[in-house]
């Protein structure tokens, strides 16, 4: 596998950063995130593993203590409820880093994943999370994905793999349940990854094909991925459902404004999935049940018609 290209040297040089982004569709920065904030975030993850009694109580690193891993959670509700990543991005040094890099004030969309991947020596596939592009099921909002390792992540621990250079081919299609480009495969020599460490961040464009590797090590893999929009770009509608029918939704936005959107057959509707962090596609006649009044949602729109409507993570 290829090594990710390190762009840390370009920080502070707007022209260089823009050139790299336009040419490569990603930035990989090493050891740039404030140590105090990232270790505090890691410790929040560690609390979850300690509560499950899968790492030792005095451990700062997520070494598996060997107890059976049963019913390992697919999502970590308490981290969501306690708004752990929201606190992280409000840390002045973390906020300043992302605002400098993105050259704008940042809006973080409520599409976030606290990833704790359990060790699995018997993993039958190289991929724990299959090949995809983050923008594929989220049209109508120009975000960048920020992926941050919260522990050492080497070859065995797995981690993020991107198909460098392939972001220029647009969106992939699915055939036989597998993602791929219809005009030919992804060249083998495009797969790129790194030995990641706490403090690093990979920021990539929403057409970047990528997947997450299985963890065949003796430690849990910890990472956070969150998605940033420049404030000067169009923001999604984020709020709670005030009323909903099969062809219209009123969302009470975070700014306390009622936004009415038409739902039609082109709207990509997604509903909550039990035991999965990923909302699943739903039919229009199921929206009133899947996303009832009071549900926290995010929508994108064009001319008053919703392009995507989904629960917040
Ligand atoms: O952490 C992983 O395994 C993959 C993460 C991912 O798909 C993303 O950050 O968008
Ligand atoms: Fe992704």
Looking at residue 185, its pLDDT comes to 94
Q: What is the pLDDT of residue 125?
A: 85
Q: Which two tokens stand for residue 153?
A: 């992540």
CATH architecture, domain defined by 237-311: Beta Barrel (2.40)
CA of 117 to the centre of ligand 2 (A): 14
β-bridge partners, 219: 63
For residue 2, the model assigns a pLDDT of: 97
- Give the atom of ligand 1 at the shortest distance from the alpha carbon of 212: 3
Q: Is 210 in the pocket of ligand 1 (CB under 6 A)?
A: yes
What is the reported pLDDT for 89?
98
Q: Which residue CA neighbors atom 7 of ligand 1 most closely? A: 211
The C-alpha R_g of the chain, in whole angstroms, comes to 20
145 lines ligand 1 (CB under 6 A): yes
Please choose, from the candidates 73, 69, 81, 67, the residue with its C-alpha nearest in 3D space to the C-alpha of residue 112.
81
Homologous superfamily (CATH) of 2-230 is: q2cbj1_9rhob like domain (2.60.120.620)
Nearest CA to ligand 1 atom 9: 225
**Nearest ligand 1 atom, CA 113:** 9
Ligand 1 and 225: CB distance under 6 A: yes
Note down pLDDT in tens along the chain; length 313 residues.
999 999 999 999 999 999 999 999 999 999 999 999 999 999 999 999 999 999 999 999 999 999 999 999 988 989 999 999 999 999 999 999 999 999 999 999 999 899 999 999 888 888 888 899 999 989 999 999 999 999 999 999 999 999 999 999 999 998 888 889 999 999 999 999 999 999 999 999 999 999 999 999 999 999 999 999 999 999 999 999 999 999 999 999 999 999 999 999 999 999 999 888 889 999 999 999 999 999 999 999 999 999 999 999 8
Which tokens sit at 202?
């990979």
**Ligand positioned closest to the Cα atom of 223:** 1
Q: Which atom of ligand 1 lies at the shortest distance from residue 115's CA?
A: 1
Q: Are the beta carbons of 240 and 296 closer than 8 angstroms?
A: yes
Amino acid 126: pLDDT: 86
Q: How far is the CA of 243 from the centre of ligand 2 (A)?
A: 31
For the Cβ of 147 lying below 6 angstroms from any atom of ligand 1, the answer is yes
Would you list the domain boundaries of the chain?
2-230, 237-311
End-to-end Cα spacing for the chain: 32
Do the domains 2-230 and 237-311 sit in the same CATH topology, yes or no?
no
- Ligand 2 centroid from CA 210, angstroms: 6
Which ligand places an atom closest to the C-alpha of 193?
Answer: 1
Helices (H) and strands (E) counted in the chain, each on its own, are 6, 19
């Amino acid at each position: 596998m290829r090594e990710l290209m390190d762009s840390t040297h370009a920080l502070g040089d707007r022209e260089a950063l823009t050139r790299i982004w336009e040419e490569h569709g990603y930035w990989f920065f090493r050891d740039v995130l404030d140590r105090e904030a990232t270790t505090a975030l890691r410790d929040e993850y560690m609390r979850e593993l300690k509560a499950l009694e899968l790492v030792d109580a005095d451990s700062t690193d997520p070494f598996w203590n060997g107890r059976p891993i049963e019913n390992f959670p697919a999502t970590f509700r308490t981290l969501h409820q306690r708004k752990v990543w929201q606190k992280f991005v409000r840390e002045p040094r973390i906020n300043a880093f992302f605002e400098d890099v993105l050259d704008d004030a940042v809006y973080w969309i409520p599409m976030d994943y606290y990833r704790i991947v359990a060790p699995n020596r018997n993993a039958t596939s190289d991929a724990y999370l299959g090949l995809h592009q983050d923008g594929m099921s989220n049209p109508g909002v120009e975000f960048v994905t920020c992926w941050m390792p919260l522990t050492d992540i080497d070859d065995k621990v797995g981690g993020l793999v991107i198909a460098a250079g392939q972001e220029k081919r647009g969106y992939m299609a699915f055939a036989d349940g597998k993602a791929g480009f219809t005009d030919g495969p992804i060249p083998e020599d495009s797969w790129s990854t790194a030995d990641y460490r706490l403090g690093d961040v990979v920021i990539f464009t929403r057409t970047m094909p990528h997947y997450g590797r299985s963890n065949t090590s003796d430690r849990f893999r910890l990472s956070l991925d969150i998605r940033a929009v420049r404030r000067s770009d169009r923001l999604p509608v984020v709020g709670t459902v005030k009323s909903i029918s099969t062809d219209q939704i009123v969302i009470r936005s975070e700014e306390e404004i009622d936004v009415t959107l038409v739902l039609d057959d082109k709207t990509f509707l997604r509903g909550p999935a039990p035991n999965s962090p990923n909302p699943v596609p739903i039919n229009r006649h199921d929206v009133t049940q899947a996303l009832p009044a009071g549900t926290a949602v995010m929508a994108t729109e064009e001319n008053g018609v919703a392009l995507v409507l989904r629960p917040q993570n």
